[in-house]
């Protein structure tokens, strides 16, 4: 379906790399967020995983850096339609962080400094699919891009890769986060164009 | 519970509709306002946007988001589009798209960057360039609702010729009561303007905004660098970051 727009040709297209539908390529790194950029000092920074039973697992900045770090190179896709290919990051796999955590939870609600939240199925954070990253392209992660540390879940739209992340709450039932409550999709698969609720 | 804040808009928003361009007018040398007739438009809250989809004869599609500039009124919505040189969609909407042509849109979208006329808090609007568009919808909706909620708008533009909605803003500031409008010029000021051209800074936000004690809701919209700067200033001036709502258009810009 769809109607042809009279006189619209689109940008000249050569052999575009395969992008999810509706996405276009950018070389920039656009910034999108709902409010001011929080500034988090490394002395106070911590990352806390809380299980459904209330058990807490905490890492300070230096404890997090001391864990095995990985350097994923991934494509990222923003729901506002830009995609960026082959971005380089450094951080700790969620498999490492969650290895010792005992849980029966199916869902995770990610919390950020500044109050932002986003929800994901727990399985989307495991099996090499997600990282807690603190470096971007070889330098420390700028605050406007979520520094000192953000989540990186490249197979979902980028709002799921919570900036300024401070912890993950594991839950038996799903609960929508900030953008999900404002009308965005609960899951957010770019390849299925799950942009808004009801997609 | 939080879901109750977004009334049954979600699923209606998800489907594409064919709208028709019924009027188009020049806003500035680089921007046009498009008036679209949208069958069964469900209405919108100021601050929301639509997604616009263009399809080429070979099936190729491009989609972009555009804020709604108008207050809700029947089946018509207005978008105000700025030309991005080398852009794919905005030059089409400005130069090629003609009265009578169809276009696919979807929306309204967005439940966060919105002003509801029932909210009694004072409002500070800070716009950079085309970032005025969703804020203008709020100014217009305030008027349409006969609201007395005090509004202040700080509008940063390069030169006087780049200001959108200039005549209407002048008139509303005079007639609507409780709406203050001030400008910051970054490249060229009008004759006799009291300050030199400059980028928005603490002094502008401090003297033309609201004191933090009044707990205003702040809406900041524009290019990324502008939004970063203004949001940081507001927080430094003591505004609770939960009341500072931002929307960023366009490229990184800093
Ligand atoms: C929620 C939302 C609301 C928006 N509302 C409006 C609106 O009311 N009015 C409006 O004019 N635009 C608005 N935009 C921006 C709009 O969606 C497009 O990004 C813009 O029209 C450029 O699209 P294009 O296809 O012409 O350019 P593209 O082909 O996407 O971009 C071409 C080049 O221009 C750069 N670029 C992209 N956008 C901008 C920009 N805005 N300014 C300067 N350079 C840019 C790109 O980085 C790229 O290098 C909004 C965006 C969002 C996310």
Q: Is the pLDDT of residue B4 over 90?
A: no
Number of domains into which chain B is organized? 2
Tokens 């080429």 correspond to B56
Q: Is the pLDDT of residue B252 over 60?
A: no
Kindly list the strands in the beta sheet with A107-112, ordered across the sheet, starting from the edge strand earlier in the chain: A56-60, A46-50, A165-171, A107-112, A117-121
Q: Which parts of chain A register pLDDT below 50?
A: none
Q: Which of A60-64, A71-75, B112-116, B223-227 has the lowest mean pLDDT?
A: B223-227
C-alpha B42 to ligand 1 mean position (Å): 25
CATH number at residue B81: 2.40.30.10
Residue A65's CB: how many other CB atoms inside 10 A?
A: 15
Model confidence at B14, pLDDT cuts 50, 70, 90, reads: low
Shared-domain flag, residues B132 and B93: no
Atom of ligand 1 nearest to the CA of B89: 25
Mean pLDDT of B184-200: 94
ipTM value greater than 0.90: no
Between these two residues, B97 and B10, which has the higher pLDDT value?
B97
For residue B48, being part of any structural domain is answered with yes
B9 touching A (Cβ < 8 Å): yes
For residue A45, being part of any structural domain is answered with yes
| 3-state secondary structure (DSSP) of residue B129 | helix
Mean pLDDT of B229-236: 92
CATH number at residue A93: 3.90.420.10
For residue B254, being part of any structural domain is answered with no
Shared-domain flag, residues B187 and B127: yes
Model confidence at B254, pLDDT cuts 50, 70, 90, reads: very low
**Residue A146 CB-half CA count within 13 A:** 27
For residue A34, being part of any structural domain is answered with no
Mean pLDDT of B1-22: 61
**Where is the domain boundary, B58, B81, B109?**
B109
**Cβ of B135 below 6 Å from ligand 1:** no
Q: What is the pLDDT at residue B12?
A: 46
Q: What is the pLDDT at residue A36?
A: 82
The per-residue pLDDT of chain B, averaged, comes to 91
Min Cα–Cα distance to chain A from B225, Å: 9
Number of domains into which chain A is organized? 1
Q: Is the pLDDT of residue B234 over 90?
A: yes
The rounded distance, in Å, linking the Cα atoms of B189 and A43 is 45
For residue A171, being part of any structural domain is answered with yes
Shared-domain flag, residues B42 and B152: no
Q: Is the pLDDT of residue B30 over 90?
A: yes
Query: Which tokens sit at A115?
Result: 């109050």
Per CB-CB distance under 8 Å, the chain B contacts of A28 are 251-252
Domain that holds residue A78: 40-192
Shared-domain flag, residues B95 and B206: no
What sections of B122-220 are H helices per DSSP? 132-144, 166-175, 202-208
Between these two residues, A183 and B213, which has the higher pLDDT value?
B213
Domain that holds residue B158: 123-249
Residue B172 and residue B179 in contact, taking contact as beta carbons nearer than 8 Å: yes
pLDDT tens digits along B131-179: 999 999 999 999 999 999 999 999 999 999 999 999 999 999 999 999 9
Shared-domain flag, residues B94 and B141: no
The rounded distance, in Å, linking the Cα atoms of B95 and B111 is 31
For residue A35, being part of any structural domain is answered with no
Give residues with Cβ within 8 angstroms of A152, minimum separation 6.
A72, A74, A89, A91, A130, A131, A132, A133, A161
Q: What is the pLDDT at residue A160?
A: 96
Shared-domain flag, residues B133 and B230: yes
Q: Searching chain A, which residue's CA lies closest to the CA of residue B2?
A: A181
Q: What is the pLDDT at residue A80?
A: 85
Q: Is the pLDDT of residue B250 over 70?
A: no
């Amino acid at each position: 379906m769809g109607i042809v727009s009279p006189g619209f040709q689109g940008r000249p297209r050569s052999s575009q790399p395969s992008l999810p539908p509706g996405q276009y390529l950018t070389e920039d790194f656009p910034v999108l967020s709902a409010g001011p950029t929080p500034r988090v000092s490394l002395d106070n920074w911590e990352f806390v995983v809380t299980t459904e039973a209330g058990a807490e697992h905490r890492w300070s900045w230096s404890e997090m850096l001391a864990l095995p770090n990985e350097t994923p190179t991934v494509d990222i896709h923003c729901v506002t339609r830009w995609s960026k290919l082959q971005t380089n990051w450094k951080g700790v796999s969620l498999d490492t962080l969650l290895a010792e955590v005992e849980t029966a939870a199916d869902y995770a609600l990610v919390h950020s400094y500044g109050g932002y939240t986003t929800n994901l199925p727990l399985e989307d954070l495991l099996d090499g699919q997600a990282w807690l990253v603190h470096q971007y392209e070889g330098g420390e992660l700028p605050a406007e891009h979520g520094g000192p540390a953000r989540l990186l879940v490249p197979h979902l739209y980028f709002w799921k890769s919570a900036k300024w992340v401070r912890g993950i709450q594991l839950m038996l039932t799903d609960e929508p986060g900030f953008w999900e409550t404002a009308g965005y999709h609960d899951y957010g698969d770019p390849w299925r164009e799950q942009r808004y609720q009801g997609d | 519970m939080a879901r109750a804040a977004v009334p049954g808009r979600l699923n209606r928003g998800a489907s594409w509709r064919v709208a028709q361009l019924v009027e188009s007018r020049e806003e500035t040398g680089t921007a046009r306002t498009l008036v679209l007739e949208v069958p069964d438009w469900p209405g919108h809250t100021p601050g929301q946007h639509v997604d616009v989809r263009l399809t080429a004869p070979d099936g190729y599609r491009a989609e972009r988001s555009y804020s709604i500039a108008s207050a809700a009124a029947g089946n018509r919505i207005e978008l105000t589009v700025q030309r991005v040189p080398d852009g794919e969609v905005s030059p089409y909407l400005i130069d090629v798209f003609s009265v009578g042509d169809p276009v696919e849109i979807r929306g309204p979208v967005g439940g966060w960057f919105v002003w509801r006329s029932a909210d009694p808090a004072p409002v500070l609007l800070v716009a950079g360039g085309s970032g005025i568009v969703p804020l203008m919808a709020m100014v217009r909706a305030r008027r349409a609702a006969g609201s007395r909620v005090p509004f202040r708008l700080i509008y940063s533009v390069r030169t006087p010729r780049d200001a959108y909605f200039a005549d209407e803003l002048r008139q509303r500031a005079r007639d609507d009561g409780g709406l203050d409008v001030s400008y910051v010029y970054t490249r060229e000021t009008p004759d006799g303007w009291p300050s030199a051209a400059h980028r928005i800074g603490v002094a502008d936000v401090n003297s033309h905004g609201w004191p933090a004690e009044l707990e205003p809701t702040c809406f900041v919209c524009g290019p990324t660098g502008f939004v970063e700067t203004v949001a940081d200033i507001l927080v430094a001036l003591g505004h609770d970051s939960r009341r500072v709502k931002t929307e960023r258009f366009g490229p990184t810009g800093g």
